[in-house]
Structure 1
């Protein structure tokens, strides 16, 4: 019982750490989208997440890493979702389902806005799309986002290798598939942000994955 309780306690601690990391990353993105990059401090982010600056430093080295962590964590959940799909499900069907769990919603439900929050009105959606565009173009984020993309692709490649019986060190397939998937996600986000008010990324990403599953035929 003691070992079991200890294991359960460790699980709860790990979950709390993940929740704190997620709250800090979400606070960083929300504040920067609202106020602009230079107007947000680490102190602001910590306060918004109801933690101390010291706690922030335990998780991230700065604002850029906090923002980029959102992408890595989401793609890690995609990889975990892929591992959980039925073994006999076709690979791209499994990938599509795992991605939609994180970025989209079922066809019979209203899809989320560009950063995953439901219920925004037209003006709010437009402002948020404008903010996300500025965030993605922020030079101070470039280095951390490059690292985030690399880490995300490594997570996806490992999950794809497990599912297909390939090896990330020996075989091209898992890394290539992960890179294609990462490119599809990025292209869908950029496409969804085009126009005056932006659009939900879920349906765009669903279309991108459908096209990949079909072999990316010429329109």
Structure 2
């Protein structure tokens, strides 16, 4: 059966966003942020600047925002997290819910190396990335609070867990980047979570 028109349009929208995002990352990684214009990105992606601005407010956003459906992806992560069996610890359930999206770092190695290189070299991109992620914070805290039965406003655990796991994700990405993407980001994430769940033991087994 043919795909509904709405579905086809949505798929085209997502594909165009991805084409612009990957093109922006490639050009900025090659030339530097200041040497790339919206016109350069549009031409290389085969669209007009007008079309570009239907998807992004700036070239910086095109580098940082990998997917058009970021909010939907956050909601899917929350849904998977809340559907995890109760016998799975909350930190592990949260990380498991992240894995499908996190796997794309390994699957799209060159794109993510280029994106991270650009962010490392341009403080404005780093600030934009932090701002973009901010919108996901409140719903994720609410989800952790719901699963653990904690008041999201008064309880420390939901915010502390999200901050801790967010720090682990950032550390994993930085290590993956330093290894030029030649190690598995997913494996590094598993190692990071196991270290946290083990109580953060010091390397070499040195006593506290």
Same fold flag (TM > 0.5): yes
Partner of 1:65: 61
Q: Secondary structure at the match of 1:104?
A: helix
Structure 1 consecutive aligned stretches of length 4 or more whose deviation exceeds 6 Å: none
Name which of 193, 196, 210 aligns with 2:194.
210
| Structure 1 residues 155 and 71: alpha-carbon distance in aligned structure 2, compared to 1, 3 A threshold | farther
Change (3 A) 1:9 1:141: same
Partner deviation per Cα, 1:173-193 (whole Å, 9 max, x = no partner): 333222222211111111222
Could you tell me which runs of 5 or more consecutive residues in structure 1 were left unpaired when the two chains were aligned: 1-7, 106-110, 119-124
Q: Distance in 1 between matches of 2:166 and 2:45?
A: 29
Q: Offset of 1:34 from its aligned partner?
A: 2.6
Among residues 20, 34, 46, which one is paired with 1:24 in the alignment? 20
Aligned equivalents of 1:69, 1:155: Cα separation in 2: 19
For these two proteins, the number of residue pairs brought into alignment is 196
2:33 aligned partner = 37
Deviation at 1:57, TM superposition (A): 0.9
CA shift digits 1:121-149 (9 cap, x unpaired): xxxx7xx8587334323123133122023
Q: Write the distance in 2 (CA, Å) between the matches of 1:98 and 1:79.
A: 11
1:90 is aligned to 2:79: no
Query: Matched residues in 1 for 2:75 and 2:195: separation?
Result: 20
What are the ranges of 5 or more consecutive residues in structure 2 without an aligned counterpart? 204-208
Q: 1:212 to 1:80 in 2, by over 3 A?
A: farther
TM-score w.r.t. the length of structure 2 is: 0.73
Distance in 2, matches of 1:79 and 1:146, equals 19
Which residue number in structure 1 is paired with residue 144 of structure 2?
160
1:80–1:159 CA contact under 8 A, matched in 2: no
1:75–1:156: 8 Å Cα contact kept in structure 2?
no
Residue 117 of structure 1 corresponds to: 108
Counterpart-to-counterpart distance in 2, 1:81 and 1:18 = 18
Shift of 1:101: 1.5
Counterpart residue number, 2:100? 101
Report the alpha carbon displacement of residue 12 of structure 1 after superposing the two structures with TM: 4.6
Q: Distance in 2 between matches of 1:156 and 1:76?
A: 13
Q: TM-score, normalised by structure 1?
A: 0.70
